[in-house]
Amino acid sequence: MNVLTRFDVASYFTRHMNTLNRKQRERFEREQRILDAARDIINNEGWEHLTMERVATAIEYSKGTVYNHFSSKEDVVGALSCRCMSRMIEMFERAANWQGNHRERMAAVGLAHALYSLLFPQEVQNMQTIKAPGIRQKISAEKQNEILQLEQRITGIVLDIIRDAMRDGDIPPNTQHVPDGIFLGLWSIGYGSQLLHLSDIPFSRLGLSAPLDMLWINSHKLLDSYNWRPLSSEMDIYALRDTLQITLFADEINQINNNT
């Protein structure tokens, strides 16, 4: 958990800290402490035990000071989501830069997505929470904008890979519903699998596999349906997964194993 914390803040650090003066830096650091406190309360005791009073106590300031940083409780959760989405983008970019064919790059992004939900299960819940109507509008306009931009960067990474594959002929020309169909197919199957994974539906008791186990094979079946070369019959998708896990996501795998 400590390893995770350092990692998490690190991406923000390099992006923001160097360009700020002392005042701004102190403010930024306290903001991170607020978010760390909120995250710990949510992770250890659940979302329903998160109160502004407890956050204030944890950072040894008063409630008023927390409100000096965030406009509402929802704003805190929104900021938490932004921080985690930054980490997700970092993982996606690492995947997209994989030196293999475009289908492998796409698979790497899918793997990043699955690993992300294993690393931050609570965060996926939070993202879902802030999407609920009536919650979202309590997030400051500034932060809503930041969320939107992060979402756009994420979709951009995926769409770029699909367009690369079209350009290089890995997907047959004149294929219908591209890039839309592939993009939404992969997104919905990944997103749905994550949420099913987090639900308390007793899959094994129903004689079913775990949703995340089937995600890998079903994503590849979908890509096969669009004739994205090489087809899964022309490659070893499990060997690919092993390679990607070792080469790109060794740190994440370690952390997932440590958490359980």
Partner DNA sequence: ACCTGAACACCGTTCAAGT
Residues at the site binding a copy of itself, with contacts judged by CB under 8 A: 46-49, 125, 128-129, 131-136, 151-152, 155, 176-177, 180-181, 183-185, 187-193, 195-196, 198-201, 206, 208-209, 211, 214-215, 217-218, 221-222, 224-226
Per CB under 7 A, 65 contacts DNA: yes
Per CB under 7 A, 68 contacts DNA: yes
Q: What does 226 interact with, of a copy of itself, DNA, none (CB < 5 to 8 A by kind)?
A: a copy of itself
From the list 221, 154, 145, the residue with the least C-alpha distance to 185 is 221
Per CB under 7 A, 125 contacts DNA: no
Residue 59: partners with Cβ closer than 8 Å, 6 or more residues away: 30, 33, 34, 37, 66
Among 25, 33, 136, 138, the residue binding DNA under the rule CB under 7 A is 138
Q: What does 51 interact with, of DNA, a copy of itself, none (CB < 5 to 8 A by kind)?
A: DNA
Residue 179: partners with Cβ closer than 8 Å, 6 or more residues away: 159, 162, 163, 166
Q: Which of residues 44-63 bind DNA (CB under 7 A)?
A: 49-53, 61-63
User: How many whole angstroms separate alpha carbon 41 and alpha carbon 45?
Assistant: 6
From the list 127, 136, 134, 107, the residue with the least C-alpha distance to 198 is 127
Pick 100 or 121: Cβ nearer a copy of itself: 121
DSSP string across 155-222: HHHHHHHHHHHHHTTSS-TT-TTTTHHHHHHHHHHHHHHHHHHHS---TGGGT---HHHHHHHHHHHH
Per CB under 7 A, 97 contacts DNA: no
Pick 68 or 254: Cβ nearer DNA: 68
Pick 71 or 175: Cβ nearer DNA: 71
Q: Which pair of structure tokens corresponds to residue 54?
A: 């407890």
Per CB under 7 A, 28 contacts DNA: no
Q: Give the footprint of DNA on this chain (CB under 7 A).
A: 23, 49-53, 61-65, 67-68, 71-74, 138
